[in-house]
Amino acid sequence: GLAANDSREHQYQLWIFDAQRDDRYPVDGGVFDVGAGGEVVVPIHARLPVSQAALFAVTVEKPGGVVVSAGERIVVLAKAAQA
């Protein structure tokens, strides 16, 4: 249900909240775009090792993403499935 974006203006960025890390610093999972069709497969490219994924969030950020998100434009939250 994410709106299509113009990657020159903004991109979506995935964040992984690791139960073993401080919640203020989720792990960058990479940036992605949504095309006009609306369907997208989100590639996850964690920049740091993740021990226990607890929550995933998607934010709207500047092109290329950010190192630390202000978390002002969260568009999706999803709790990780428990094994």
pLDDT score recorded for residue 82: 74
Who contacts 24 (Cβ-Cβ below 8 Å, separation ≥6)? none
For residue range 37-54, list pLDDT tens digits in order. Answer: 877 888 899 989 999 999
Start-to-end CA span in the chain (Å): 26
pLDDT score recorded for residue 36: 87
State the maximum Cα–Cα separation within the chain, in Å, rounded to a whole number.
Answer: 39
Distance CA(66)–CA(72), nearest Å, equals 13
What's phi and psi for 37, nearest 5 deg? -70, -20
Distance CA(38)–CA(55), nearest Å, equals 23
Stretches where the chain sits below pLDDT 70 are 83
pLDDT score recorded for residue 41: 84
